[in-house]
Every structure is written in structure tokens, then in C-alpha cells.
Structure 1
Amino acid sequence: MTTAVPNTAATPVVIPLSKAVAWLVTAAVLALGVYYFIGIDQGATSVFGSSTGIHEFVHDARHFLGFPCH
């Protein structure tokens, strides 16, 4: 007794170029935002005001990732 195994090939998912560009731009903007808040934002020189809330929130992550902040 032999069982028949269907011989089907996997078909790749095709994403239109316009959707791929939209996903890439969104990912790049989010990545730059995360990089700014963790690596560059210094509190006093912050683009979003003189509050140090964001700086203090990500303070330990900055040191863990090797960004100097004092």
C-alpha cells in the first residue's frame, strides 16, 4: 500500500511595491524615533521641552546599550 502524496509547490506571497515602501518607511520612522529617545534625547536639550521624564524613563536602557548620558 502506498499513499499518494500531493506534489504542490509553495507559492510566495507577493507584496505590491507601494505597500512594501509604506511598511519600510513606517519601520524606519519608528526605528529613528526609538533611537532618538534612547540614544540622543538629553532632557534639557530635548526637542519636546525641558522635561527630563523621557530621559529618566530610558536611563538604564541607555547605559545598557552603551550610550553615555552624564
Structure 2
Amino acid sequence: MVSNAATQSDLSIPAIPLRDVLPWAIFGGLLLLLAIYFVGAEQGATAVFKGMYVHEFVHDGRHLLGFPCH
């Protein structure tokens, strides 16, 4: 019986150099910090936008993550 499945020696996981991953990690980290700012701090003392639009948009996420709002 001939098996078409790859043997363990045929499989290898390629190593990804840190210099290729680092820009994406920094970009993802900045997006995460931006999201945390809008959920946790927008409409407070450091508000960027006037009104309550951002606050109302992220209101449920704010409670889900444990941020107090009212």
C-alpha cells in the first residue's frame, strides 16, 4: 500500500526572521493602543472629538472591558 501522506521528515516549519515580523508587531501594537484609547479614555479629559458619538459607539465594549463610564 502506497501512502500519499507526507512523512514527518517532509514537513518543516519555516523560520520567520524578527526583522520581518517586527514592523507588523509594532503596527498591531499601535492599533491596539488606539483601540484601547477610544474604548477607555475618549470623551474624558483627553477627548479628541466633541460630543458623545464615540462614547456611545464603544459603550458596550467599555463595560465589557471593565472601564467605568457613568
TM bin, normalised by shorter chain, reads 0.7 to 0.9
The count of residues paired between Structure 1 and Structure 2 equals 68
User: Cα 1:43–1:56, aligned 2, differ >3 Å: closer, same or farther?
Assistant: farther
User: Cα 1:64–1:17, aligned 2, differ >3 Å: closer, same or farther?
Assistant: closer
Consecutive unaligned residues of structure 1, counting only runs of 5 or more, are: none
Query: 1:23-34 alignment to 2 at 5 Å?
Result: 23-34=24-35
Corresponding position of 2:2: 3
Q: Displacement of 1:17 after TM fit?
A: 2.4
Tell me whether 1:35 sits opposite 2:62 in the alignment. Answer: no
User: What is the alpha-carbon distance in structure 2 between the residues aligned to residue 62 and residue 39 of structure 1?
Assistant: 6
**TM-score in terms of structure 2 length:** 0.73
| Aligned residue identity for 2:12 | T
Once the two structures are superposed, what CA deviation does each residue of 1:12-68 show, in whole Å capped at 9, x if it has no partner?
A: 12323222101110110011111111112125641x232321111111221122210
Identity of aligned residues (%): 40
Corresponding position of 1:56: 56
Q: Is the 8 A contact 1:43 1:51 kept in 2?
A: no
